[in-house]
Amino acid sequence: MEQENRFESQAALIVGGASGTGFAIARRLGTEGARVMLVDHDGAAGESCANALDSMGIEGRLVIGDPADPAVSTFAVRSAVQIWGRLDVLVTLATGAGLESPSWETPVEVFDRVYATNMRGLFLFAGAAVPWMLKRGYGRIVCVVPHAPGGGARRAAFSATAAGVGGMVKSLAKELAGSGVLANCVAGDGGSAEAAASAAAFLASPECTFTTGSVWYAGGGG
């Protein structure tokens, strides 16, 4: 059951917010009071999602750009702080999209693209957001990967970067211990976008006061 106004007056930045799961998280946080900034490389999808949030009465903004571009992360974080005076929540979405093939047949361009989106994007956005969160002594970082971060056949690029995301989250959590800024990961395999959004919403909320450096599995027991 959704909690009312857990995110009242908070500002959330959702990287990959025009995806199914990303939008589900944006909608969930927004309906509970958050102001939401979506970041996505897909302009058309981003506009559609931003309009949908507006139709639900959720205050939102959209930044169109490549999450792996340092200029995009810097601009998005600064914009959120300038508009709302704060940044409470950062959510990043990893993707398993791309050619599925044996490791030795995977083009290096595919590997580089998946790495850039999943790991470099998290590195850049966390780097831009954490200093602002530390100033206020509060923040929640939630990274979402669509599958459990274990090795998967024909998915070497995604498996490697998903494991890397989990490792980076644990490093962030240890570095930020005691600061009021928590970092966690949600991994799902075959579950609904809403299930992932429910897990992400708890980890992004003030209710989550102790859990950090964890990987939550929103799977079906497989």
Residue 82: CB atoms within 10 A of its CB come to 8
Residues in contact with 112: Cβ distance below 8 Å, sequence separation at least 6, in sequence order:
none
The pLDDT score that the predictor gives to residue 1 is 44
Check: CB of residue 114 under 8 Å from CB of residue 67.
no
The pLDDT score that the predictor gives to residue 148 is 62
Q: What's this model's pTM, rounded to 2 decimal places?
A: 0.95
Largest CA distance in the chain: 49
Question: What values do phi and psi take at 95, rounded to 5?
Answer: -130, 145
- Four-residue CA torsion sign, 205, 123, 75, 143: negative
Check: CB of residue 198 under 8 Å from CB of residue 216.
no
Is the CATH number 3.20.20.70 carried by domain 11-107+134-217? no
- Four-residue CA torsion sign, 42, 44, 49, 54: positive
* pLDDT tens for each residue of the chain, 222 residues long: 455 799 999 999 999 999 899 999 999 999 999 999 999 999 999 999 999 999 999 999 999 999 999 999 999 999 999 999 999 999 999 886 656 889 899 889 988 999 999 999 999 999 999 999 999 999 999 999 877 666 778 888 888 898 999 999 999 999 999 999 999 999 987 678 999 999 999 999 999 999 999 999 886 665
The pLDDT score that the predictor gives to residue 3 is 58
Each domain of the chain, given as residue ranges in start order, spans 11-107+134-217
The pLDDT score that the predictor gives to residue 22 is 96
Q: What angle, rounded to 10 degrees, do the helices at 20-31 and 193-204 form?
A: 50
- Four-residue CA torsion sign, 30, 58, 14, 114: positive
- Residue 174 exposed, middle or buried by CB count within 10 Å (0-12, 13-18, 19+): exposed
